[in-house]
Structure 1
Amino acid sequence: MKVIVTGCNGLVGSALVRQCIANDNITHVFALTRKPLDEAVAKSPKATVILHDDFSSLPPDLLRQLAGAEGCLWAIGGRATQFPDVETYRRVQVDYTLAAAKAFQETLVPQLPEGKQFRFLFCSGKFAEWDQSKSLHFMADTRHVKGQVERELCEFADADTAKRFVVYCGRPSGILPGDAGLPAKITGKLYGAIDADRLAKAFVRVVLEGYKERIIENDTLLSL
């Protein structure tokens, strides 16, 4: 299976690239990124690094480079506090994600063999909230925006009458780097934090095999 990965310089995205390269069932990974990746990825025969600046648009020449992809692991985003303002966060989290989903559904899905589905897995977050009018007491902007992405992705997939564009939304709680110290690991247990590589392995399994539920909560990700 050929898979697209985004957010490749981030904690989750870099782990996804590593796990895709390590997994024998992934034949190739297209690492779609703004910045160059480390030499180990760039020289891997299983990886194609594609530099792209503006994720609000995926032009035809870029989509041609992604031909044959059957899935996407979307890890662009994060928390609202990591962005200068909510408008920027919403543009990156909502607009970029939906633009890519539309481009992949229109261009890559028709290229697949008859009956093949394209699986799009969005890295969301625990407590993402679909109801944009609901008052939230913590991480409101992050939860509302991630919830908006989830809802709109699911609605987009539902509108595909051929059911060939399939959406999954993974909802990790805290995410720990592989070199997290003991204090971080102990604290992480209090809120169900998951190691980035363990999360990446779960995401790769979902993109390869699919899953019975569209929204995949943190406890499930820990068990995959």
Structure 2
Amino acid sequence: MKIIVTGATGMIGEGVLMATLENPNITAVLMVNRRASPLKHPKLAELIVKDFTNLSAHSTLLTGYDGCFYCAGISSFGMGEQQYNHITFYTTIVFAKELARLNPDMVFFYLSGVYADSSENGKIMWARIKGKTENALNELSFKAVYSFRPGFIMPLKAQKNVRLIYKGLRLIYPFVFPNKTLTYEEILTALIRILIVGYDKNILEIKDLKLVAKQVEMDD
């Protein structure tokens, strides 16, 4: 399978990317970044795109993929609603629409958040916009769309883009809240299985990701 990964210079995107490179089911990975990544691997290619809303010059390079793990994004801390909406909703939807046009058989996975608000009416700004983005993606002409809402993810030892607080929490959080903690191996195992066989829900909560990953482990 051939996969596109965005957001690979961020913490979660980097972890997802590194896990894809270790997965034997994935034969080629294209990371789409706004800035270059130092990561190198035999099955990894990189496409630098300064503006995710203007992909017209890159159509050929973005064609022929089975799945996309869209992990690009930004924290809402210190941001106004209009700016956060432009980056989180508008940019994501424009990028996804072009991928759907180029790859109608693609399965699209969107990195959302645990408390994303699918009603779009809640008081928390970032949650409303994440929920709005999830809903809009479901209307696009992909083979399937899934929004995954991970909680605390155990950083990989080889990761470079890990916030200091995560380095401390990794020593405590998994033991106190094991049901709210995921590894990148669990996430990728679940997403790859869902890419191949599908799932009965579009929203993938922590319990869904753990359940699918466990099923794969039992099958093996």
Partner of residue 126, structure 2: 142
With over 3 angstroms needed to count, the CA separation of the structure-2 counterparts of 1:98 and 1:181, relative to structure 1, is: closer
Cα displacement (A) at 1:210: 2.8
The 1-side partners of 2:196 and 2:21 are apart by 13
Count of residue pairs brought into register by the alignment: 202
Cα deviation code 1:121-174 (max 9, x no counterpart): 001111211222233xxxx12211110111111123xxx4xxx53100101123
Amino acid aligned to 2:52: F
TM-score, scaled relative to structure 2: 0.81
Cα displacement (A) at 1:196: 4.1
Matched, 1:152 2:136: yes
The 1-side partners of 2:205 and 2:148 are apart by 6
With over 3 angstroms needed to count, the CA separation of the structure-2 counterparts of 1:6 and 1:105, relative to structure 1, is: same
Amino acid aligned to 1:85: G
Range with bigger deviation, 179-188 or 123-132: 179-188
Could you tell me which runs of 5 or more consecutive residues in structure 2 were left unpaired when the two chains were aligned: 158-165, 214-220
The 2-side partners of 1:51 and 1:8 are apart by 11
Partner of residue 149, structure 2: 171
Identical-residue share of aligned pairs (%): 25
Could you tell me which runs of 5 or more consecutive residues in structure 1 were left unpaired when the two chains were aligned: 110-116
Out of 172, 183, 196, the position equivalent to 1:186 is 172
With over 3 angstroms needed to count, the CA separation of the structure-2 counterparts of 1:176 and 1:145, relative to structure 1, is: farther
Map residues 43-192 of structure 1 onto 2, 5 A cutoff. 44-59=41-56, 61-81=57-77, 84-109=79-104, 117-135=105-123, 140-156=124-140, 160=141, 164-179=142-157, 180-181=166-167, 183-187=169-173, 189-190=176-177, 192=180
Cα displacement (A) at 1:2: 0.8
Out of 200, 206, 215, the position equivalent to 1:212 is 200
SS of residue matched to 2:209: helix
With over 3 angstroms needed to count, the CA separation of the structure-2 counterparts of 1:200 and 1:3, relative to structure 1, is: same
- Superposition CA RMSD, Å: 2.2
Cα displacement (A) at 1:197: 4.7
Asked if 2 retains the 8 angstrom alpha-carbon contact of 1:21 and 1:46, the reply is: yes
TM-score, scaled relative to structure 1: 0.80
Cα deviation code 1:89-116 (max 9, x no counterpart): 211111111111110111222xxxxxxx
Cα displacement (A) at 1:221: 1.6
The 2-side partners of 1:185 and 1:89 are apart by 32
